[in-house]
C-alpha cells in the first residue's frame, strides 16, 4: 500500500457504503426483519475503521478499538444526552433504538482489523488502476454514516398492516385534542392504539407521540379497515399526522398490487383527512 487513500479506494469500503445506504433507506422499509435490522450494524463496524484509518493512518488498532467503544456507547441509553444536544442545534434531527442485541455486530471488528493490517489483501481489493480523488468517496461516506440513524420522526411511522405508508403525513393548525374532536363530529371513532405503548422509539423527542387506530372508515364506496395513524404536536396549535397503515379485506400477496393500492389509498386518505380537518 503506497498511500492511505486506498483505505477508502477499495471495493470493500465502497460497496460497503453503497450497501449501508441501500439497507438504511430501502431494504429496512421493504423487508423489515432481524436481518435488515442488524445488517447496517455489521457493515458499519466493518468499514468505519477504514474511514478512520484514512484520517489517522498510523493508528489502525486505536481506530478499531474506538469504533467498538463508540458503538457500545451509541447503542446505550448514555448517548441520549449527546443526541438531545445534537438535535438542539441540528436542522436534521436523529434518534436511535436502544437495543443491546445489536452489540453482536462487534464480532466483525477482528475482520476489519485483519483487512486493515494485511496490506496484501487490501491491495488486492484496491482501485489500483483507477485514478479517483478520495474526496469523491469520502464525502458521500460521511453523509451515509450520519444518515444511518433514523430521523426523529421515524418512530411515528412504526405500524403494522397489509398496506403500509412510509411517507404520508399531513400538517394541521390544531392540537391533537382538536383533531380528535373534529373527527368525532364526522362520526370517525379514533381510539388509542395500546399495542404501541412499548414502542422502541419512546425516548427523546418521541415521548409525546400518540398512536391511534380507526376500526372502520367509509369514504364514498371505499371501506378502510383498521387504519393506523399517529400524531405529534410541535406547537400547541400545530400537529403533524402520520398515516401509517391499514388492512385490506382480500388476501393480497403480489407486491405490484400492493404498490398500486398504496398509491390509491394514500391519495384517498390524504384528500379525505385534509377536507375533514379544515
pLDDT in tens, 117-126: 887 777 777 7
- Residue 25's pLDDT band (boundaries 50, 70, 90)? confident
Q: How many CB atoms lie within 10 A of CB 14?
A: 20
Residues 128 and 165 in one domain: no
Is the pLDDT confidence value at 190 over 80?
yes
Residues 141 and 16 in one domain: yes
- Residue 32's pLDDT band (boundaries 50, 70, 90)? low
| Last residue within a domain, chosen from 122, 150, 178 | 150
Residues 247 and 164 in one domain: yes
Among 39-43, 102-106, 128-132, the range scoring the smallest mean pLDDT is 128-132
Q: CA-CA distance, 128 to 240, in Å (whole number)?
A: 50
| Last residue within a domain, chosen from 95, 129, 150 | 150
Residues 122 and 24 in one domain: yes
Which of 261, 208, 269, 222 lies closest to 244, judged by CA? 269
For 143-164, what is each residue's pLDDT tens digit? 888 776 655 555 566 566 778 8
Residue with the bigger pLDDT between 29 and 55: it is 55
Residues 20 and 106 in one domain: yes
Which of 228, 75, 227, 234 lies closest to 157, judged by CA? 228
Range of the domain at 220: 155-276
pLDDT of residue 152: 55
Residues 21 and 116 in one domain: yes
Is the pLDDT confidence value at 205 over 50?
no
Tally of domains in the chain:
2
pLDDT of residue 209: 66
Is the pLDDT confidence value at 42 over 60?
yes
pLDDT of residue 201: 44
| Last residue within a domain, chosen from 150, 168, 191 | 150
Q: CA-CA distance, 6 to 2, in Å (whole number)?
A: 8
State the distance between the two ends of the chain, measured CA to CA, in whole angstroms.
65
Give the rounded distance of the alpha carbon of 70 from its chain centre: 19
Give the H/E segment covering residue 11.
helix 11-22
Residues 130 and 248 in one domain: no
pLDDT of residue 146: 76
Q: CA-CA distance, 277 to 182, in Å (whole number)?
A: 7
Residues 223 and 272 in one domain: yes
- Residue 60's pLDDT band (boundaries 50, 70, 90)? very high
Is the pLDDT confidence value at 198 over 60?
no
pTM for the model stands at 0.59
Contact 248, 262 (CB under 8 A): no
Residue with the bigger pLDDT between 63 and 251: it is 63
pLDDT of residue 68: 95
Q: Which residues contact 252 (CB under 8 A, 6 or more apart)?
A: 162, 258, 261
Q: CA-CA distance, 212 to 224, in Å (whole number)?
A: 14
Residues 170 and 141 in one domain: no
pLDDT of residue 204: 43
With a pLDDT cut of 90, the percent of the chain lying above it is 19
Amino acid at each position: 500500500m503506497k498511500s492511505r487513500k486506498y483505505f477508502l479506494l477499495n471495493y470493500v469500503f465502497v460497496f460497503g457504503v453503497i450497501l449501508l445506504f441501500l439497507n438504511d433507506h430501502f431494504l429496512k422499509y421493504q423487508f423489515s426483519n432481524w436481518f435488515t435490522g442488524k445488517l447496517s450494524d455489521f457493515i458499519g463496524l466493518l468499514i468505519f475503521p477504514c474511514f478512520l484509518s484514512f484520517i489517522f493512518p498510523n493508528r489502525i488498532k486505536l481506530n478499531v478499538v474506538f469504533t467498538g467503544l463508540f458503538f457500545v456507547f451509541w447503542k446505550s441509553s448514555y448517548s441520549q444526552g449527546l443526541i438531545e444536544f445534537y438535535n438542539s442545534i441540528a436542522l436534521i434531527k436523529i434518534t436511535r433504538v436502544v437495543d443491546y442485541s445489536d452489540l453482536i455486530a462487534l464480532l466483525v471488528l477482528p475482520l476489519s482489523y485483519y483487512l486493515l493490517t494485511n496490506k496484501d489483501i487490501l491491495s488486492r481489493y484496491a482501485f489500483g488502476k483507477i485514478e479517483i480523488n478520495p474526496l469523491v468517496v469520502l464525502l458521500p461516506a460521511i453523509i451515509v454514516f450520519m444518515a444511518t440513524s433514523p430521523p426523529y420522526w421515524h418512530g411515528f411511522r412504526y405500524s403494522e398492516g397489509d398496506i403500509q405508508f412510509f411517507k404520508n403525513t399531513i400538517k394541521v393548525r390544531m392540537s391533537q385534542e382538536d383533531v380528535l374532536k373534529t373527527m368525532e363530529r364526522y362520526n370517525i371513532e379514533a381510539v388509542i392504539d395500546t399495542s404501541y405503548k412499548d414502542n422502541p422509539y419512546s425516548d427523546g423527542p418521541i415521548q409525546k407521540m400518540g398512536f391511534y387506530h380507526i376500526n372502520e372508515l367509509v369514504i364514498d364506496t371505499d371501506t378502510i379497515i383498521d387504519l393506523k395513524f399517529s400524531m405529534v404536536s410541535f406547537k400547541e396549535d400545530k400537529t403533524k399526522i402520520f398515516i401509517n397503515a391499514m388492512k385490506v379485506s382480500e388476501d393480497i400477496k403480489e407486491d405490484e398490487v400492493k404498490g398500486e393500492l398504496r398509491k390509491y389509498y394514500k391519495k384517498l386518505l390524504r384528500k379525505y383527512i385534509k377536507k375533514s380537518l379544515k
